[in-house]
């Protein structure tokens, strides 16, 4: 059986990739600008959008 990887992630899949255990934290990311796609009540996060969002939030280690 071939495992198919999708570009569009469920919230649960996105949380697993990010290492999150709380929907509250994912909701905070969404409020901070993480794009969500919604079609007929189904919400998905595009993998490339997730990567771009995280990359855009790099913090200089001297400032942290």
User: When comparing pLDDT for 2 and 33, which is higher?
Assistant: 33
**pLDDT at residue 27, as a whole number:** 97
Report whether 50 contacts 34 (CB < 8 A).
Answer: yes
Q: What is the mean pLDDT of residues 6-15?
A: 94
Residue 48: closest CA among 12, 6, 7: 7
* 0.85 exceeded by pTM: no
Q: Give the strand order in the sheet containing 37-39.
A: 8-9, 42-46, 37-39
């Amino acid at each position: 059986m071939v495992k198919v990887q999708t570009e569009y992630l469920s919230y649960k899949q996105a949380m697993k990739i990010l290492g999150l255990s709380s929907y509250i934290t994912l909701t905070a990311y969404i409020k901070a600008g993480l794009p969500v796609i919604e079609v007929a009540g189904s919400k998905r996060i595009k993998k490339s959008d997730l990567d771009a969002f995280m990359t855009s939030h790099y913090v200089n280690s001297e400032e942290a």
